[in-house]
Amino acid sequence: MQQQVPVAQTFFIDDAIAEYYVLGAIVTVVDAKRAHAQVDRHHEAQEQVGFADRIVLFKLAMVPKADLGHLRKRLRRMNPRAPIEPAHFGNAPIGDILNMRGFDLDAILEIEPGCLSEEEHQDNDAVISFVFRADHPLNARKVEEFLNVMIERHGQDMLRYKGVLSIGGQDRRAVPQGVHMMMANDMARRWQKGEKRASKLVFIG
């Protein structure tokens, strides 16, 4: 994890690198049989899950279905925006891993419905997630002030944050995303005619 963050931040701050290279995504591989023990014992393992754009689960056949379901829910609570893909005997869904544009400012923000409303077994994980949603247009100045305060006060604790925002008076999506103290903010594609304008912003940390 300590190696991933500086690499990811490079694409935010080094224009020379960003001109020639694109960071597609961060993929985290999770051993389903040992995942609970590793996540309980190592904070770095929780950060790996929280930082991921895609989670690949392997050794599924060695885990009872009930335990596997619990593990999936635990991973989703830590990171609701990373789809979880199975790998069978080392065969991972390459088409779902490569070219997924997880760090693309114009990429879709994927959050599984209901993944944060589980009232079942709650693990005492240090890495958790929070999702803000709004159906009304947001005030650009207030959004900027809020994000600046969040970064100033909690930047070191925020692994990843990303959103698609509907700003009043703007016909394009505002797409902020960041890693710790480094944030990029851009105007992405236009809202289509008849499309429901809504905001969604996820914090993982």
pLDDT digits (tens, 9 = 90+) for 46-62: 888 888 888 889 888 88
Whether 182 has a pLDDT exceeding 90, the answer reads no
Taking only the tens place, the pLDDT of each residue in 125-151 is 888 888 899 999 999 999 999 999 999
Taking only the tens place, the pLDDT of each residue in 4-46 is 666 666 666 667 776 777 777 788 889 999 998 888 888 888 8
Q: What is the pLDDT of residue 83?
A: 84
CB 180 within 8 Å of CB 196: no
CA end-to-end distance (rounded Å), the chain: 13
Q: Mean per-residue pLDDT for 84-102?
A: 72
Q: What is the pLDDT of residue 16?
A: 78
Q: What is the pLDDT of residue 81?
A: 82
Whether 193 has a pLDDT exceeding 80, the answer reads yes
Q: Mean per-residue pLDDT for 101-107?
A: 60
Write down the pTM of the prediction.
Answer: 0.69
Give 25-48 as a DSSP string: --EEEEETTTHHHHHHH-HHHHHH
| Cα dihedral: 36, 108, 22, 177 (round 10) | -80
Whether 115 has a pLDDT exceeding 60, the answer reads no
Q: What is the pLDDT of residue 108?
A: 57
Whether 176 has a pLDDT exceeding 60, the answer reads yes
CB 29 within 8 Å of CB 76: no
List the beta strands (DSSP E) in the chain: 27-31, 54-58, 84-86, 129-134, 160-164, 172-179, 182-190, 199-204
Question: Model confidence at 109, in pLDDT bands (50, 70, 90)?
Answer: low
Q: Which class does domain 4-204 fall in?
A: alpha beta
The token pair at 189 is 């594609």
Q: What is the pLDDT of residue 116?
A: 47
Helices 65-78/43-51 angle, 10° precision: 70
CA–CA separation, 105 and 163 (whole Å): 9
